[in-house]
Structure 1
Amino acid sequence: MTEHWTARDVPDQTGRVAVVTGANTGLGFETAQVLAERGASVVLAVRDVEKGKQAAARFGAGADVTVQELDLASLESVRTAAAELHTALPKIDLLINNAGVMYPPRQTTREGFELQFGTNHLGHFAFTGLLLDLLLPVPGSRVVAVASIAHRLRAAIHFDDLQWENSYDRVAAYGQSKLANLMFGYELQRRLAPHGTTVALAAHPGVARTELMRNSPAALRGVFSAVAPLFTQDSARGALPILRAATDPGALGGQYYGPDGLGGYRGHPEVVSSSPQSHDLALQRRLWEVSEELTAVEYPVG
């Protein structure tokens, strides 16, 4: 009988430094907690510092956990956070881009980007680029992009209207942002490969019961609550694909981890497939170029 991968399989992380965005709750908290339990020094990169401190207080005695303010909806905040982390950290072994927003009414980031695309993709794109010099010298370092099965749901990169200014569909806009997360991860791996030290992977949690659904329309939340036990899993299980991508010694750059159950909704963490669209090299490169232009962040690789 095949042994399924669990949090018990996370290797010793002593001496490693992990930065986890959105780590005060849900998947980010569960991921950060396991890494800290295995000995990693963990930075909770969060928008609300007070909530971050409350989350840090929930870690076990002796855990090496710090809180870093990071508002991914503000490139100024992203730059400030990256500068402060350069002062605080000698290196980064793991960067886990987990934070996100889902299905809000149309809003914009500080720079005027549609909130889901601006936060989920552009904020993480800029944050990763500004921190990459702390990862590149570290053998075995990893960047993990947290995507979603929603990258298949009415998802496309709308280069003619990336910010949804002509019309707004919150579900399609979320799909665009999660497709962008995945395409960014694949393109980043291609650019990192010649350097031989840092790799990029992606993961998705299936359908995890977290606070992410709080912005959904009331009717959708009602349906979700009614059927949730049938096809969802708790945040601890949802974090397992992220943890496996981040720590499994056998994981390879460019792999995508998710639950192995029907539809990818729930199950044990395994390498899974993503949509054909997500593997389109021309679209990946175009998205990368547009993202560099919009964020004014140029990567030291590529």
Structure 2
Amino acid sequence: MTEPAPGYSKINWLYEMYYGFRPNQPKFLPKDYPDLTGKAAIVTGSNTGIGASVVQLLYEKNCDVISVVRTEEKGLAAREKTLKEIPNSKGSITVVGGCDFLDLNNVRPTAHKVTEILKGRPLNIIIHNAGLMSPVNTGTSVQGYEAMFSTNVMGPQLLQHFLDPIFLKKDDPLKRIVWVSSCAHLMGFKEYGINWENPTFEGVPIKQRPRNMTLYGQTKAANLLQSHAWALKHSEAVQKIGAVSVGCFPGNLSTDLTRDWSFINMFAPYFLGTALQGAYSELYAALSPDLTTKDHGAYVVPYGEVHNPREDITAAYKNGSDLKFYQMVEELISKYF
């Protein structure tokens, strides 16, 4: 199905894992962000954690932000908090609730709402921030897919499918997509991080599933493959409009992503970063002029640098395994188009 995957350096593996806990300080900060008046951004999973901080920073720069969340009430509460804290913005925050990637039937209605909100205006930034990192390997979506794969991989690609027609237009110079990944991609399966035979583990008894962090690592490797493959799939339009699609590891952070990890939360203040620092990583990926159309699939690390991902991921960008994976997911989600 794919080209044989090369091996990867254990030394590099250890270094990147260590770097996640001891990253360099951010250099691309809000003072460096451009004025975003008239620009529109979509941020998923944005009522709390990194997503909420990203919305605040974009709104502070006068961006019109569409906050896509599972629970509308929580999204509206986060919106009100931001409006009070940043009273002088010329931007807007619109909340779209009901987008739970554990049920892929939610995605089409979400995209329809987004299209109605934009009303033909340019869509500049898409940040696929929503994610699930489960402390167990037992989670299963409504459709019978492994929960983290449904949430972190299938949901974002399905949403992107619906957003492509309104994003892939030559209507504004700023065009960025950020697929939020993690250093956990290093823990994925041997072949480009993916269990190629059945990445969703549909129909596989729970007892036969790998451990939770291997499953999570698969989804984060997948996000990197998606970031590069999306650009290849739409290469003609991407070059025409100057769009940039990258992956981003925000950092090892204390956010709601770890809310079910009691052990991690006990020691979080001592070795984890903050949601705001993670937002600096994502907004480097979304706004930095350092990233151009030559950087599709770039692996942005905390808090705004570019490193190399695991060696087999880099190889996948060159031998087409990323496109094969993207097409595999496309076939899985096509029933929800």
TM over 0.5, yes or no?
yes
The residue aligned with 1:177 is 219
Gaps of 5+ in 2: 1-24
The residue aligned with 2:55 is 32
Alpha-carbon separation, structure 1, partners of 2:236 and 2:75: 36
The residue aligned with 1:95 is 126
Q: Deviations over 1:101-145 (max 9, x none)?
A: 102531222221111001100000000111011111133211110
Q: Deviations over 1:27-79 (max 9, x none)?
A: 11111110010010001100011100000011122551010121122221101
The aligned runs of 1:216-235 (5 Å cut-off) are: 216=261, 221-223=262-264, 225-226=266-267, 228-235=268-275
Identity between Structure 1 and Structure 2 (%): 29
Correspondent of 2:100 among 71, 93, 105: 71
The residue aligned with 1:263 is none
In the alignment, is the contact (CA less than 8 A) between 1:292 and 1:298 conserved in 2?
A: no
In the alignment, is the contact (CA less than 8 A) between 1:20 and 1:98 conserved in 2?
A: yes
In the alignment, is the contact (CA less than 8 A) between 1:11 and 1:248 conserved in 2?
A: no
Higher relative contact order (CA 8 A, sep 6+): 2
Q: Find the residue that maps to 1:271 and give its secondary structure.
A: strand
Alpha-carbon separation, structure 1, partners of 2:175 and 2:75: 24
Q: Which aligned segments of 4 or more residues in structure 1 are displaced greater than 6 angstroms?
A: none
The residue aligned with 1:44 is 67
Q: Find the residue that maps to 1:23 and give its secondary structure.
A: coil
The residue aligned with 1:201 is 246
In the alignment, is the contact (CA less than 8 A) between 2:50 and 2:255 conserved in 1?
A: yes
Gaps of 5+ in 1: 260-267
Q: Deviations over 1:227-246 (max 9, x none)?
A: x3443211101111110110
Alpha-carbon separation, structure 2, partners of 1:65 and 1:275: 37
Normalised TM-score (structure 1): 0.88
Computed over aligned residues only, the root mean square deviation of the Cα atoms, in angstroms, reads 2.1
Q: Deviations over 1:184-216 (max 9, x none)?
A: 001112233322212211211110110111233
The residue aligned with 1:237 is 277
The letter for the 2-side match of 1:243 is L
Q: Find the residue that maps to 1:35 and give its secondary structure.
A: helix
The aligned runs of 1:257-296 (5 Å cut-off) are: 257-259=300-302, 268-279=303-314, 280=316, 281-296=319-334
Alpha-carbon separation, structure 1, partners of 2:69 and 2:200: 24
Shift of 1:256: 2.2
The aligned runs of 1:137-176 (5 Å cut-off) are: 137=169, 138=171, 139-155=173-189, 156-164=193-201, 165-166=204-205, 167-168=208-209, 169-176=211-218
Correspondent of 1:120 among 152, 168, 172: 152
Judged with a 3 Å threshold, the aligned counterparts in structure 2 of structure 1 residues 224 and 50 are, in CA distance, closer, same or farther, namely: closer
Q: Find the residue that maps to 1:238 and give its secondary structure.
A: helix
Normalised TM-score (structure 2): 0.79
Alpha-carbon separation, structure 2, partners of 1:77 and 1:22: 14
The letter for the 1-side match of 2:252 is V
Alpha-carbon separation, structure 2, partners of 1:76 and 1:238: 30
The residue aligned with 2:18 is none
Correspondent of 2:114 among 46, 64, 85: 85
Judged with a 3 Å threshold, the aligned counterparts in structure 2 of structure 1 residues 80 and 104 are, in CA distance, closer, same or farther, namely: farther
Alpha-carbon separation, structure 1, partners of 2:60 and 2:95: 17
